[in-house]
Amino acid sequence: MQTSAVPIVRDIVLVGGGHSHVVAVRYFAMHPLPGVRVTLISADAHTPYSGMLPGYVAGHYTYDEVHIDLCRLCAATGARFIQAEVTGLDREARTVHLRGRPDIAYDVVSINTGSTPQMRALGAAEHAVPVKPITGFHQRWLRLLDQVAQATRPLSIAIVGGGAGGVELCLAMQYRLRAETRAAGRADLAPQFHLFTSDGLLPTHNVGVQRRFARVLAERGVQVHLQTPVAQVQAGRLRSEQGKWFEADEVLWVTQAGGAEWLQATGLALTDKRCIRLHDTLQSITDPHVFAAGDVAAMEHFALEKAGVFAVRMGMPLAINLQRAVQGLPLHPYRPQRRWLALISTGDKFAVGSRGALGFAGAWVWRWKDRIDHRFMQRFSVQGMDGLAGMTPVAASSADSAIQLSAEEAQQAQAAVAMRCGGCGAKVGASVLSRALHTLWVQPNPDVLLGLDSPDDAAVVRVPPGKALVHSVDFFRAFVDDPYLFGRIAANHALGDLFAMGAQPHTATAIATVPPGLDRQVEATLRQMMQGAVVVLNAAGCTLIGGHSGEGAELALGFAVNGLVDVDADGQMAGVLRKGGMQPGDVLLLTKPLGTGALFAAHGRAAARGHWVQAALHSMAQSNQAAAHTVRRFGATACTDLTGFGLIGHTVEMARPSGVQVMLQAAALPMLDGALACVQQGMRSSLHSANARQHHAVDNAAYAMAHPHWPLLVDPQTAGGLLASVPAARVNDCLAALQRQGYGHACAVGTVRALPADAAPIVVVG
């Protein structure tokens, strides 16, 4: 979680994780502007480098070698990363629309989303695979590898598009699939390739390069169909505009690409391929607050190829102009090169160079290309990001770093950096608070007599007859830069105690801490965070009835939650699960994997891979409500939710009041991806050492502490799973039910037995 020593006064939002934006993020880290927050929004946590993608398809590179880890890049540079799908812009309100979550506000926004092929042929959208966006193609490519491995006849693969991208992809796929079938002793089942092009091969390159690739394709047995536009695609075949049908088990679309469909509704001036028309400053000709770069950009005075080289080189000019735009300074024109060098591989480790009328080829060209590509990717490798996280930024001059503020903004900024008041003087302003909350849709509850919609001093809630209240409270500072996601996890974490006890969530009050800043930034952060929380509370049937907000150095959120349980006429609780109650012969189940403490300790140092972090966040956002119902249905005798004290601490809390001993199977522990790697590298939560002192409750402490999984046994969890004891006879059915409900890591982690005399409550085995 990034914090700022000065209040945030401007927001630069980057839509898409393309080449220009990753270069810009690095530039912002090296040349930061005080008071400017950078937010990168991408549907994927990893973005591929187009220059190495054919090499990955051909099998020359691994997935990690050709992908930039956006989550890790943002953690290293201080940018805010939000994984979400963008669906549009509200240019009047200056917000980015996201699917399924609140809008993100911007002062200036840049769009670098790449492009998608124009699939205008009948049936192409249903039956063909666009190569862009790359994520969809990657998944289909992995399936095709499996399909070819299991095929009983040679498959027919069609590539639609005869430009450099289509030719290079065709040769890379053919090289890899031939190698795979030969290695499996099935060379006779290598797929047959067809390349369809509306005109000639590589039409933007010189005749010598075109002829060279025509020879290579012929030598490799690729059937090239020149001047053969595709008019229709069906399952297993396609039809040309001339009316001829061709068999095709797989159709890949690599024609000239354009911008995403949502751009059409923005009101921005676009080309016929939905690319954003730009001034030389990379600024939209329609809206000075909107910039673009990469494949989605169309400069008015320069006709640029859709090539990664231009996207990379746009990155620094784009970053400079975005910073100048938020400062109110004149922008600098970008002058792209008139000629550029293309290095096009032929599938094997051989490449062709093309620049204007010049063409050359050889294995040395591939090695040259390989060195260039690796040099670029090195800047975004683990070592490159370590350097970013530890570097001293280039200081900007006072003239260059000044941001022009309105009189009202200047007053708010001055107040934000002044010595902050304590007590009620530290509350968030009433108007900011009311605006942030007025859009919330809160779960209706007939028992709430006075709640969030009332200006009274306190809420009034009726307790239904035959019910008793269960109270719990949780509060912690943010560990992720996305306030909406943080709000979801904080609410989910707070509800965990109620679910574990078998209570039905009823009402909640919130306490939120927001860093000081301009009113609109504070309002936006508070609104994002509370909307995320309310989504979770509403889904649980829990009504938000009020709360308190204040200023602080870091974003933080917590909830006091109330739940209901049944009581009989004698005041006895019915169906409440407590920590004590485990019986000898029970099996201890855990519904979620371990490792959130270690992973986010590593993430705070930009040392955790993005897909590890995203998988952990997904786990933390998963509710325990369904799991709680399931373990109760299968006769659970005791239950708790796994949080800050770690597996050892919470197991002790269950074993001691139950008077039993638990044999924990260390080898059986479900672990989040990357968690073990993080602890092995010494990345541990600040609470780790305190939790590790629970070793005195372990009967075989020396063995346990030497076990490689010991750091995860004491790793503090946020929004962790349920720990429940279930009779052995019902364990398999219970686990099967949990798996069906989406708790894919649910498993047995221990057994319960009678406590031997003078023994500690836990034994670690396995």
Catalytic residues: 424
Q: What is the mean pLDDT of the chain?
A: 90
- Report, as an integer, the average pLDDT of 318-339: 93
The pair of structure tokens assigned to 651 is: 């197991």
Chain segment 531-562, per-residue pLDDT in tens: 999 999 999 999 999 888 888 888 999 999 99
Question: Rounded distance, CA 590 to CA 237, Å?
Answer: 49
Chain segment 683-692, per-residue pLDDT in tens: 999 899 999 9
Q: Is the pLDDT of residue 410 over 80?
A: no
The pair of structure tokens assigned to 237 is: 């075949």
Spatial CA neighbour of 473 closest among 538, 580, 577, 563: 563
pLDDT of residue 423: 58
What is the DSSP pairing of strand 504-514 with strand 543-551? parallel
Q: Is the pLDDT of residue 714 over 60?
A: yes
The pair of structure tokens assigned to 305 is: 């190829």
Q: How far is CA 704 from the centre of its chain?
A: 35
- Report, as an integer, the average pLDDT of 442-447: 86
Of 152-156, 303-307, 546-550, highest mean pLDDT = 152-156
Question: Rounded distance, CA 57 to CA 43, Å?
Answer: 22
Chain segment 70-94, per-residue pLDDT in tens: 999 999 999 999 999 999 999 999 9
pLDDT of residue 442: 85
Is residue 551 within 8 A of residue 514, CB to CB? The reply is yes
Question: Rounded distance, CA 435 to CA 536, Å?
Answer: 21
Q: Tell me, what amino acid is at 316?
A: M
Chain segment 112-140, per-residue pLDDT in tens: 997 777 788 899 989 998 887 777 788 88
pLDDT of residue 397: 44
Q: Which of 6-10, 214-218, 327-331 has the lowest mean pLDDT?
A: 6-10
Question: Rounded distance, CA 71 to CA 616, Å?
Answer: 13
| Cβ count within 10 A of residue 89 | 26
pLDDT of residue 384: 72
Q: Describe the crossing of helices 164-183 and 134-150 by its angle, rounded to 10 degrees.
A: 30
Q: Is the pLDDT of residue 631 over 90?
A: yes
Q: Describe the crossing of helices 519-539 and 483-501 by its angle, rounded to 10 degrees.
A: 30
Chain segment 167-224, per-residue pLDDT in tens: 999 999 999 999 999 999 999 999 999 999 998 899 989 999 999 999 999 999 999 9
Q: Is the peptide bond before 154 cis (omega within 30 degrees of 0)?
A: no
Question: Rounded distance, CA 358 to CA 308, Å?
Answer: 20
Question: Rounded distance, CA 677 to CA 603, Å?
Answer: 13
- Report, as an integer, the average pLDDT of 385-402: 56
**Terminal alpha carbon distance of the chain:** 36
Q: Is 334 helix (H, G, I), strand (E, B) or coil?
A: coil
Question: Rounded distance, CA 623 to CA 471, Å?
Answer: 18
The number of residues in the chain equals 766
The pair of structure tokens assigned to 293 is: 């770069």
pLDDT of residue 190: 94
Spatial CA neighbour of 497 closest among 579, 421, 573: 579
Spatial CA neighbour of 252 closest among 174, 183, 343, 344: 174
pLDDT of residue 8: 87
Q: Is the pLDDT of residue 395 over 60?
A: no
Identify any residues that bridge with 511 across adjacent strands, giving them in sequence order. 548, 558
Q: Is the pLDDT of residue 468 over 70?
A: yes
Q: Is the pLDDT of residue 62 over 80?
A: yes
Name the pLDDT band for 419 (thresholds 50, 70, 90): very low
User: What residues have CB less than 8 Å from 651, skipping those under 6 apart?
Assistant: 588, 662, 664, 723, 750, 761, 762
DSSP alpha helices (H): ranges in 62-133? 63-66, 70-77, 124-127
Across the chain, how many H-helices and E-strands are there? 25, 38
Question: Rounded distance, CA 223 to CA 195, Å?
Answer: 6
pLDDT of residue 484: 96
Question: Rounded distance, CA 597 to CA 592, Å?
Answer: 14
Q: Tell me, what amino acid is at 275?
A: C
Residue indicated by tokens 């770069």 = 293
What backbone torsions phi and psi does residue 720 show, to the nearest 5 degrees? -75, -175
pLDDT of residue 65: 93
Question: Rounded distance, CA 382 to CA 612, Å?
Answer: 14
Residue 694 DSSP one-character state:
G
Q: Which domains does the chain have, with CATH numbers?
A: 10-115+259-340 (3.50.50.60), 118-256 (3.50.50.60), 421-576 (3.30.1330.10), 578-766 (3.90.650.10)
pLDDT of residue 569: 72
Is residue 552 within 8 A of residue 427, CB to CB? The reply is no
**% residues pLDDT > 70 (the chain):** 93
Name the pLDDT band for 96 (thresholds 50, 70, 90): very high
pLDDT of residue 421: 56
Is residue 197 within 8 A of residue 166, CB to CB? The reply is yes
Q: How many CA atoms lie within 13 A of 350 on its CB side?
A: 11
C-alpha distances out from residue 327 to 12, 33, 668, Å:
11, 9, 56
pLDDT of residue 429: 57
Spatial CA neighbour of 716 closest among 610, 624, 599: 599
Q: Helix, strand, coil % (nearest 5) of the chain?
A: 40, 25, 35
Chain segment 668-702, per-residue pLDDT in tens: 999 999 999 999 999 999 899 999 998 999 999 99
pLDDT of residue 399: 42
